[in-house]
Chain A
Amino acid sequence: MSLLEIKNAKLNLDDKNILKDLSFSVNRGEVHAIMGPNGSGKSTLSYMLAGRDGYELESGDIYLDGQSLSEMEADERARSGLFLAFQYPVELPGVGGMSFLREAVNSRRKFLGEDELDHLAFVKEARKVASKMSVKDDMLKRAVNVGFSGGEKKRFEILQMAMLKPKVSILDETDSGLDVDALKIVSDGVNAQRNDDNAIVVITHYQRLLDYIVPDFVHILSDGRIIKSGGPELALEVEKNGYAGLINAA
């Protein structure tokens, strides 16, 4: 059984058909890349998966580990093991990083029937994970994403991913706004979490990120549907020839 399965997903925004009969599935241990030009529906896809209000499916369904997500709110999806790393992480003035992380981790632990971590145990665990991701202690003391640089915001997203240990992670344009050094740190953080039980979906414009997070499969999204799927070589083809040729051929 696939870990994530999207079946004939259709979605309208403001009466405009954005996702048109979109289907693909991701198995355990796999990394999939979704590539596509501007306006192809990439961000809509990530919001739809995460369960943002207003991004409900018109028809079709999505399954996480065999369980339908379409009737679930965003928080239930996350507790069930879905994670979205935001393209633009949201600033939360007045919400401390450490307490935010703890609230998130304990919500997931409670759902899994595990004991909630007390403050000390949590801080210890968070610091351990943070140091591996080059996230300074100071960042955890500050308000979530407030005054963070682009690189810090993305590192904090991946730190959350590492703490929450999701089944499926959606990385929405995680490379945007990152210089080469930051890109490497973030990619190393993601790669460290790859294992045989989870799966990662990388959504991106450019091939560049895929040099660091090497996918098993690449899908080309255009006008709300997957027009071509293949191996990593498909990303190189996009890099070389652009999207136009693929779109015209489809």
Chain B
Amino acid sequence: MLHNIKGNYITSVKDHVRQYNEKSFRKLASNNFKSWPNPREETWRLSRLGVLSRKEITPIIPDYKKNFSSFSKFNGSKIIRFVDGALREDLSSNLPPGLSLNILGEEDSLRCFHKFKDSNLKDHPSTNVSFSCTPSIVKLTIEKDVKIRDFFEIIYEGGDDNLSVHPALHIELKDNSSITIIERFNHLSSLIMPLQLVELKKNASMNSLKIFNDSQQSYNLSANCTFLSEKSNYNSFSLIKGGLFTRSETHAYLKGKNCNLNLNGVYLSSKNQHHDLTTAIYHDVPKCTSKQIVRGVLGGESTGVFQGKVRVAPDAQKTDGQQMSRAILLSENATANAKPELEIYADDVICAHGATVGEIDDEQLFYIKSRGVSEKKAKLILITAFLKDIINDTVEESIQNFVFEEAEQALSEIISKEI
């Protein structure tokens, strides 16, 4: 099955993994992509993958001559480009001092692998299969004290019918470094299984924006594993609008005191799209804060899922964990699911969560209409405000307009059919 995968480290990982004799790992890949998580598994109950087992999927062989189609959205930004899951240095920018991009060797690849295997992402299908099928694990390192002010774009594209794509990226921010990274997923019809390991060292700070905009026939099962050290700061926002099925799953481990985590996101779903934002936050040490704000707008027969787990370990006193999800349904046939889970084992913490699913607020609609504004326009004003509100509150100021414009395109698609 995997004989056609390039790169020698993969064979080594495979051999290494044999010693584990774990039944989950490589089950998928070695079983011709037929063993997807059972819907009885709690974390996959609301997002079922059974349909994939009826497809004939083969890992893509990256075409290093393939050209790219997505252009940068920012003037003067640095670009890193993955095509068919493989890094294309020839299509990427030269990096400024203090930043480096490497293809990991066997030892570092294994280290990366173990980070996932030791996390609760160990049974995620992308963990199972992408460590076997990725062309290589790419590492982006931001050196100590380096603060990158330019925008960084990572563009993932390529793919094709019945093929799977396996980009794997390890981002490490060393002490006191900072960066803003904008990732855009723009694949053609395919199964996309991205892996990402983020390590924030002491006092490091990262703004992450992910835009999931793969083609309408695609499946994207993104798995992100993030580790935060003391006083580090991770501010992440996911905008999910593309794909037939997109699930962005992030597990964040707060390992150092006084670190701060934001895992926010918006999903905009129409037709028969299925969008899923799943997060797990592990407060392992005292005095950290985490915040999640998630909003969704759904039309057609689409489904939205938010699953947010916050675990506060017995030692993690003075934790502040907040979680809020809201979804607006514009169609009778759309569905939104919200599943907050709090597991709190410490006694001196502030943790709050809330979830609402509903239609546009009647009072607000009447108020705007009573000023002479048509119902259609009033709804548009309210939905736009619903998104602007979260974007303004959670996204770094310099990229707020960009995020809003990206959201607006998908929103007009939904609204044109519903109101």
A100 to B369, CA, bound (A): 11
Q: Which residues of A contact B375 (CB under 8 A)?
A: 73, 75
> Is the pair A94, B386 in contact by a Cβ cutoff of 8 Å?
yes
Are A78's CB and B385's CB within 8 A? no
| CB interface residues, A 91-106, toward B, < 8 Å | 91-95, 100, 103-104
Chain A contacts for B362, CB-based, 8 A: 53
A104 to B375, CA, bound (A): 12
Q: In the complex, what's the smallest C-beta–C-beta distance from A156 to chain B, in angstroms?
A: 12
> Are the C-beta atoms of B388 and A94 separated by less than 8 Å?
yes
Query: Taking the complex as formed, is B368 at the interface, i.e. its CB lies under 8 A from any CB of chain A?
Result: yes
Q: Which residue of the partner chain B has the closest CB to A107?
A: B372
Q: Is the CB of B374 within 8 A of A107?
A: yes
List of A residues within 8 angstroms of B368 by Cβ: 92, 100
Which residue of the partner chain B has the closest CB to A79? B372
A50's partner among B363, B370, B373 (CB-CB below 8 A) is B370
Question: A93-B385, A95-B385 in contact; A164/B371 too (CB < 8 A)?
Answer: yes
Assess the A75–B364 pair: CB atoms within 8 A: no
User: 1/0 per position for B239-257, CB-CB distance to A under 8 A?
Assistant: 0000000000000000000
Cα distance, A103 to B377, chains bound together (Å): 9
A92 near B371 (CB under 8 angstroms)? no
Q: How far is the CA of A108 from the CA of B367 in the complex (A)?
A: 15
Q: Judge whether B382 and A92 touch: CB under 8 Å.
A: yes
On chain A, the residues within 8 Å of B389 by CB distance are 93-94, 143
| Smallest CB-CB A-B distances: 10 pairs | A94-B385, A94-B389, A104-B371, A78-B372, A90-B367, A107-B372, A74-B369, A79-B372, A75-B369, A95-B385
Q: Apart from A92-B382, A103-B377, what are 10 other A-B pairs with CB-CB below 8 Å?
A: A52-B366, A52-B370, A53-B366, A73-B369, A75-B370, A79-B372, A83-B370, A90-B364, A92-B368, A100-B368
Q: Write the nearest CB–CB distance from B395 to chain A, whole angstroms.
A: 13
Question: Would A74 and B385 count as touching, CB distance under 8 A?
Answer: no
Task: Return chain B residues, CB-CB under 8 Å to A50.
Answer: 366, 370
Closest residue of chain A to B391 (Cβ to Cβ) is: A94
Q: Mark B346-375, 1 if CB is under 8 A from A, else 0.
A: 000000000000000011101111111111
Residue of B nearest to A88 (CB): B363
A172 → chain B closest CB, angstroms: 11
Interface status of A86 (Cβ within 8 A of chain B): yes
Interface size bracket, A side: 20 to 34
Q: How far is the CB of B404 from chain A (nearest CB, A)?
A: 11
B 374-406 to A, binary, CB cutoff 8 A, 1 in contact else 0 = 110110011011111100100000000000000
Cα–Cα, bound, A142→B387 (Å):
16
Q: Is the CB of B392 within 8 A of A107?
A: no
Given A94-B386, A94-B389, also A103-B366 (CB < 8 A): no
Chain A residues whose CB sits within 8 angstroms of the CB of B367 once the complex forms: 86, 89-90, 92
Distance from B403 Cβ to chain A, minimum over Cβ atoms (Å)? 14
- A75 to B368 Cα, complex, angstroms: 8
Out of B371, B372, B392, which one reaches A94, CB within 8 Å?
B392
Residues A164 and B372 in contact, CB atoms below 8 Å apart: yes
Residue numbers in A under 8 Å from B382 (CB-CB):
92, 95
Shortest B381–chain A CB gap in Å is 6
**B361 to chain A: closest residue by CB:** A90
CB nearest to A93 among chain B residues: B389
What are the residues of chain B within 8 A of A160 when measuring CB–CB? 371
A103: B residues at CB distance < 8 A: 371, 373, 377, 381
